Amino acid sequence: MKGFLVIFFTQQNRRHHGKMLGDWLVDLAKEMGLRGATLATGIEGFGHSGKLHSAHFFELADQPTEVRLVLTEEESIRLFERLEGEEIALFYTKTAVEFGVIGKLAGGPPHQP
């Protein structure tokens, strides 16, 4: 299949609707019926402001966070339309990709995406 890898970049201390922004994005993807989302945290990074964000032993609130999704074009359109209606600003990358599943599930028929 053809689609997009979309990566949202944020920090662990950012919140939206009472949740950490990364968790909210993962929950939104599930609510919208998207095929999956991965939340990952980084050790250190900096953004457009030049401010260093890092995970410290005693304070993880400023830890860099990414949410990754692989989407069809239609799913991407729906997600970005939904995000336009929210009161948030998010930096993202969107890259064209080919994706699919190879092989078959143990003891079952080939996986159908």
CA distances from 15 to 22, 36, 51, 88 (A): 8, 21, 19, 9
What DSSP letter does each residue of 58-77 carry, written as one string? Answer: S--TT-EEEEEEEE-HHHHH
User: How does pLDDT run along the chain (113 residues), one tens digit per residue?
Assistant: 999 999 999 988 889 999 999 999 999 999 999 999 999 987 666 666 666 555 554 555 567 889 999 999 999 999 999 999 999 999 999 999 999 999 887 666 665 55
Domains and CATH numbers, the chain: 8-87 (3.30.70.120)
Specify the pTM: 0.79
Rounded to 5°, angle at Cα 32 from 35 and 79: 90
